Amino acid sequence: MKKRLNGFLTLLLVLVVQIAFAQERTITGTVVGENGLPLLGVNVLVKGTEVGTQTDFDGMYKIEASQGDVLVFSFIGMERTEKTVGAENIINVTMVPDAQSLQEVIVVGYGEQTRKSLTTAVAKVDGEQIKSIATPTISGALQGSANGLQVNQNSGAPGGGFSVRVRGASSISGSNEPLYVVDGVPILSGSIGENDFFGGQNNDVLANINFSDIESIQVLKDASSAAIYGARGANGVVLITTKRGKAGKTSVEINSYAGFQEPINKYELFTAGQYYEFGDRAFESAFGVPGMLSKGMILGENILEREGAASLEDLYAMDFGDNYIDAVYRNSAVLVRQTDVTISGGSDRARFYTNFTDFNQEGAIKSQLFKRRSLSFNANFKANEKLDLDAGVSITQSFNRRVNGDNNIYGVLSTAVLERPGEDLFNEDGTYNTSSFIFSNPLQNALVDKSTSENLRIFSNLGLRYEIYKDLSFYSKASLERLDYNELVFNPATTRRGQGSNGYSYKGVYQINRWNVTNTLNYSKDVGNFDFTGLLGFSFEGTNTETTQVDGNQIPAGLELPGNAAVPTTAYNAIDENKLFSYFGRAGVSYLDKIFFEGTLRADASSVFGAGQQIGYFPAVSGAYIISDEDFFKNKTLTNWKLRASWGQTGNSTGLGNYGSRGLAYVRSYEGNPGLGVGQLAAPDLSWETTTQVNVGTDITLFDRIDLTYDYYVKTTDDLLLSRPLRNSSGFTSVAANVGKVENRGHEISLNARIFQGDFNWTTQFQAAYNKNEILSLEKDAAGEFIPIDRGFATRLAVGQSLSAFYGLQADGIYREGDDIPEALAARGIGPGDVKYIDINGDGNINANDRTFIGNALPKWTGNFRNTFRWNNFDLSANLQFEYDKDIYNNSLGFAGASGSYLFNKFASQLDYYTEDNQDATLPAPRYGSRQSYNNQDSDRFIEDASYVRLKEVVLGYTLNPEINGTPISLRIYIGGDNLWTETDYTGLDPEVNAFGSDNAARGTDFFTQGLNKVYKVGVNLKF
């Protein structure tokens, strides 16, 4: 108490002294904008002190100051203003917009525009916002950052692939991933190599992009902004701008974080006793004999005797053997770390930027590991007043060690769940136990089977800009991208997977070269009240891919490569290429900097199509009107109002392949003699899938501190590239054709608010996007009916449904004693404890004709809610990400659920199954044979709500600003976490997963797919 009193008296003395020497008085005034409207929340500070206040709703302020003091007025989006206190007591201020803020640069295709002049739908993400997220891929860093961009991590495996959708999915056979462009050059993306072993863990080429180098990211969402990329812009475009050096003293930045991970969820399973009780009940329901599984009548081993149980009831209460789930997960800290060092600087004539990054991430499952090292260098050189040069090179080397994945009887998680419990993973002599398991030893699958990949990626570019005269410049850029990908899969003869072949080895080598040359003329001219801009360009791009694949059986002990196989089985080598020639142009005009029009046209000529169909044209138009700049518009609340509208067309040919339109001959063997045979029918009339999109939107600013953006779009894709069925007499089952139509329509709303400014700073961002996906047309049969397409486990593509609709039976609980069971079902043995399916067609039976649509994997709503707080040297940011109104097909329940086979272990959640003593159960009774198959049909019993809200990232930091030998230093220390909290009703490991990876149609299916991890991290950021 004394200390508090002393402090108060000291403060009071200081105030008295100040009053005595500085005769303070009250200064009042009003702060308005250029339009004369009052500004709310302007910071007013006495320079050199901590005395300050803010303006109220009427723009008025009141502050104590002395003659000679300087008042500093500051406000986001306005130029800082200073006023010296004289004899007057009233100081009114008119603040003018900050030119830099108004002219915020937005990167667009082959150029830049200001935020004010933008007529299209573009989302921007700053590199600083994502650089500390513990993920190896740029796709993962974008999750929850850009409105209208749905990003899902298909699996929790490190280095694994993501699915990215801009305003929904538009293609069935082609890619739905956006085009990625780095510094104006389209780059390779997607998955490469053989992914059949790994389920949803398909690799991601984008994991080789170091996003520590990223300055900003722009997502082109509507067709008008993406049409400048023509035949590749249908799925949106992600423009990545890398960092460049700045003139001035050389600066060094070191950013390093380290942390550990843990799975968000782990499976909980039946004990060994519960497993045998379930199996015994299944066989007793079929044969009336108790204890058949436990007593060895089925699998040949009497477990009752082996475990020394006095009775079946005693056995059922026991648990024995190893815990497979605990065994395959790492039991020590699962590490993740990254360190990057940046050096940049230069002069007005020459600037440079260089970065080295080392990233290392272990997987939650044993053996999993992803490592990446990258080195990049960017340089800018001003040769003279007219000529500028820029160059860049990045080299990335990565290593990925994966384990057998989901949808695989040798998968680590699938066998850890499904294998019969109660067995030891090791024999007494320390070797792996392979004889006691029905499928394979889960731990051996993780530690002994080998799956590795190594990747070397080199990306280089050189640009030249020449100012022909003041309003016209020429820019030329050439780039070369080289990707070397090597993968090895090795299954020793000691493993269950390798036993049948006495050791199996596969080696794949992929070498991809892509070159690009782009030349553009850029024009800009002010004529009176009009501003004109123009762009003309030509680009040439080629991609060459060489693939070599070799595998073999009977690998001697101690060797791994297929070249050592005693029995080579496959040797494949192919070289293929594609080329794209393009002309493009853009013209824009603005009037009084408030009315804007823009038009774009691109012509693409692609080698993948036949003669007469190789050229496609992709036009677009857009316009904007800033109503708030009109003299008649003065509104204290609505301080900015802009209307936008656009229309455009873009293309997609990724579903065709390099030679999909051509007739091909394959090598055949005829009685031991080589020859050629027709392998593919020609489809010379094939053309691009064409996406037409209409977008209307508005940008609103309230009180100069709340920014609202709204967009409505309709995105229709025609001429889908699909297979058209043929008569068997043709010798082929199908031929490629342009058939089908898909539509996406939706709404996007974004709110950014600067709630508090000053010593305490609080900004918030809320983004939400609604999208409805619908198939409008497919191929028709001879009767004129649309032919549905079945994919995955329970996905059906049909007109009127979404691209990822689930199809199956509808269940209405289970039959209980006294229920009226249809005669046809009773004749099949169906009784109490079996699933009660709804008889859709009313024929008294249950079969495939009773199937209907039972769910949809595509979310209706996606979005995020981000808040950033700053107080003195502290900063805190948190980002909540959500998906709402989507389903997941939990195919894991078809095996580890109550209706699954007795062979498989079950989830602990499945204990409430029907028995004579538990007739109020919610789950069907254990069954064997046809009754088990009946209960286990594809149905909405396996459909679950996969909506979720996730704390995607939270970071708390503190910044120190010391000086060492006169050199200012910034040292920020932070702690944070990723995926720390997830709220969902889904009972699986994670609601994001996709067992079929990036498959366009079979979305939202879980089949023992590895879930995501929580990440806890601590880091430092040092700048000097």
Rounded CA separation 475/389 (Å): 10
CB contact at 8 A, 952 and 862: no
Rounded CA separation 1011/993 (Å): 7
Q: Which pLDDT belongs to residue 35?
A: 67
CB contact at 8 A, 512 and 459: no
CB contact at 8 A, 970 and 1020: no
With CA atoms as reference, report the closest residue to 250 among 389, 393, 354: 354
Rounded CA separation 418/420 (Å): 6
Within 8 A by CB and 6+ apart from 672, the residues are none
Which residues of the chain have a pLDDT value below 50? 1-22
Q: Which pLDDT belongs to residue 700?
A: 95
Taking CA atoms, 302 is separated from 299, 646, 688, in Å, by 8, 73, 63
Rounded CA separation 149/166 (Å): 5
Taking CA atoms, 948 is separated from 227, 772, 888, 984, in Å, by 34, 18, 12, 5
Q: Which pLDDT belongs to residue 5?
A: 35
Tell me the residue ranges of DSSP E strands in 446-566: 450-469, 472-491, 504-527, 530-553
Rounded CA separation 83/92 (Å): 9
Where would I find the H helices in 182-292?
223-226, 272-287
Q: What is the CA radius of gyration of the chain?
A: 33
Two tokens, residue 978: 């990723």
Taking CA atoms, 495 is separated from 328, 415, 428, 677, in Å, by 16, 13, 17, 39
Q: Which pLDDT belongs to residue 916?
A: 92
Strands 861-871 and 760-777: antiparallel
Rounded CA separation 1002/299 (Å): 36
Rounded CA separation 133/127 (Å): 11
The 3-state DSSP class for residue 99 equals helix
**Which pTM value belongs to this model?**
0.88
With CA atoms as reference, report the closest residue to 620 among 693, 523, 711, 687: 693
Q: Which pLDDT belongs to residue 102?
A: 52
- β-bridge partners, 508: 487, 549
Strands 334-346 and 248-263: antiparallel
Distance of CA 959 to the CA centre of its chain: 31
Where would I find the H helices in 254-311?
272-287, 303-306
Domains contained in the chain, CATH given: 23-94 (2.60.40.1120), 119-263+331-804+862-866+878-884+946-1023 (2.40.170.20)
- β-bridge partners, 591: 530, 595
Two tokens, residue 441: 């030893």
Render 620-661 in DSSP notation, one character per residue. EEEEEEEGGGSTT---SSEEEEEEEEEEEEEEE-TTT-TTTT
Strands 734-738 and 741-756: unpaired
- β-bridge partners, 163: 152
Q: Which pLDDT belongs to residue 23?
A: 59
Two tokens, residue 589: 């005009």
Per-residue buried b or exposed e for 591-609, using 16+ beta carbons within 10 Å of the residue's own CB: eeebbbebbbbbbbebebb
Rounded CA separation 248/400 (Å): 40
CB contact at 8 A, 395 and 375: yes
CB contact at 8 A, 753 and 706: yes
Sign of CA dihedral 716, 115, 130, 452: positive
Taking CA atoms, 494 is separated from 35, 435, 500, 561, in Å, by 80, 11, 10, 16
Two tokens, residue 672: 């031991």
With CA atoms as reference, report the closest residue to 149 among 137, 132, 134, 167: 167
Tell me the residue ranges of DSSP E strands in 324-366: 334-346, 350-362
- Specify the amino acid at residue 617: Y
- Specify the amino acid at residue 67: Q
Q: Which pLDDT belongs to residue 704?
A: 83
CB contact at 8 A, 686 and 736: yes
Q: Which pLDDT belongs to residue 199?
A: 57
**Conformational region of residue 844, where left means phi above 0, alpha means psi within -120 to 50, and beta covers everything else:** left
Within 8 A by CB and 6+ apart from 219, the residues are 122, 123, 124, 125, 142, 146, 148, 149, 166, 178, 236, 237, 238, 239
With CA atoms as reference, report the closest residue to 452 among 410, 403, 409: 403
Helix, strand, coil % (nearest 5) of the chain? Answer: 15, 50, 40
Rounded CA separation 144/204 (Å): 19
Two tokens, residue 626: 């800033």
* Measured CA angle at 365 (ends 359, 368), to 5 deg: 40
Count CB neighbours of 321 within 10 A. 18
Rounded CA separation 933/1007 (Å): 18
Two tokens, residue 764: 């918030």
Rounded CA separation 470/465 (Å): 13
Rounded CA separation 164/123 (Å): 15
Within 8 A by CB and 6+ apart from 298, the residues are 279, 283, 292, 902
Distance of CA 223 to the CA centre of its chain: 21
With CA atoms as reference, report the closest residue to 799 among 851, 850, 878, 743: 743
The 3-state DSSP class for residue 611 equals coil
Taking CA atoms, 312 is separated from 242, 271, 782, in Å, by 68, 14, 60
Phi, psi of 37 (to 5 degrees): -85, 140
Rounded CA separation 183/109 (Å): 10
Q: Please count the residues of the chain.
A: 1024
Q: Write down the residue that tokens 């001959």 correspond to.
A: 665
Strands 25-32 and 93-94: parallel
